[in-house]
Structure 1
């Protein structure tokens, strides 16, 4: 996909990673639309990018996720990519994380992104892309993060299955799995306290690599042992 001129919906644009992704897309000539949960924060991000269309969504209202996709499609005259860059985290032993917290993690980290993509699959043309930030925990679940890891793994598994379905329509799927990043995400947990974590990686480096991966038709973006993002294709 040619990023220059591409119409890209960034869902989660009000977060650190989403804001950085929006800025990088604009720098490379893309035409973004922005979706976020907080109207005030969404307005702040949009202020830096005049005339960019915006939409408010709530992860617990899946129809609002679909509305954001359809609204961006109308505003931009079509979409070439939909990228979800939002999520939430909780920490603690599995037995201590309550059912309500586990349900919240699944709703935000799996069901809401899937709702964005379900709507996108109905409007995207061949050559388009859906992409999500799942994280390294999707393939390497961590102790004291069981429910968080499971919610991200669920989204990654969904993307893997949809990738094979969408190939017939010429739509590509990118799974972005960075390690721990220096975004303050772990400090905003909905429950528990983060265990000792390694130094966070540079979110801007991951964002640049993610846009490169979109342009290169990659299917998977991982973080190597030295912290370098590495893009490639799935083995199946």
Structure 2
């Protein structure tokens, strides 16, 4: 994978992590296609980077599945896909509403799966398919049962996909970011977060992930976590 000039689809481009990724890819002279929910922010990002852009709805799974084909047509091919969509909800498992639980599974699991399912036959050999899960998969806290379950479902799916695409040298990456300073807890669809560790620097974590995904010498590890310096510098 060439460090500069890679063609990358960023899904969830208007979220905090997605926007950081788009700007970091632009600084690396990559060509990006953008998909996001916030139409105004999407238009601003597209104008600032000269990228094709398309609105998306996590509940439109067929539309999510078609994003990679659209991006490949717009960019003349596709070398990688990064999915950063995600939403949080908190509370004891017995009290989380069924509506919130369904929303978590749709946005955090079914949507990224649909995007990457559609991308698998589109991304060229030697490319990458990556999605952000999070440290909540490794050590779920009390009050995060449904949130953690939705991320764990995606993590399991990514692990199987990685084995299925190994012969094509397509790196399937589960990016397990630690708690980062993105304000995600304040945007939870339900409940309040439990006590969390000191947040890391999201820009540093995103930059470290992209360095790994775009490295020309070695394939990205299927399960990726930033080191301490990459979290906080």
TM-score between both structures, scaled by the size of structure 1:
0.92
Gaps of 5+ in 2: none
Which of these residues, 211, 222, 225, is aligned with residue 222 of structure 1?
A: 225
> 1:227 Cα shift?
5.8
Cα distance between partner residues in 1 of 2:3 and 2:115: 20
The answer to whether the 8 Å contact 1:56/1:68 transfers is: no
Secondary structure at 1:48's aligned position in 2? helix
Q: Deviations over 1:105-135 (max 9, x none)?
A: 0000000000000000121121010001100
Secondary structure at 1:207's aligned position in 2? helix
Gaps of 5+ in 1: 230-236
TM-score between both structures, scaled by the size of structure 2:
0.93
> 1:40 Cα shift?
1.7
Cα distance between partner residues in 2 of 1:139 and 1:227: 20
The answer to whether the 8 Å contact 2:67/2:118 transfers is: no
> 1:169 Cα shift?
2.2
Match of 2:43 in 1: 43
The answer to whether the 8 Å contact 2:182/2:202 transfers is: yes
Cα distance between partner residues in 2 of 1:15 and 1:45: 11
> 1:56 Cα shift?
1.1
Cα distance between partner residues in 2 of 1:228 and 1:38: 28
The answer to whether the 8 Å contact 2:141/2:194 transfers is: no
Cα distance between partner residues in 1 of 2:124 and 2:11: 19
Bigger Cα displacement from structure 2, 194-203 vs 53-62: 194-203
Instruction: Show the 5 A alignment for 1:55-134.
Output: 55-134=54-133
Bigger Cα displacement from structure 2, 209-218 vs 76-85: 209-218
Q: Any runs of at least 4 consecutive aligned residues in structure 1 with deviations exceeding 4 A, and if so which?
A: none
Count of aligned positions = 227
RMSD: 1.3
Cα distance between partner residues in 2 of 1:185 and 1:227: 22
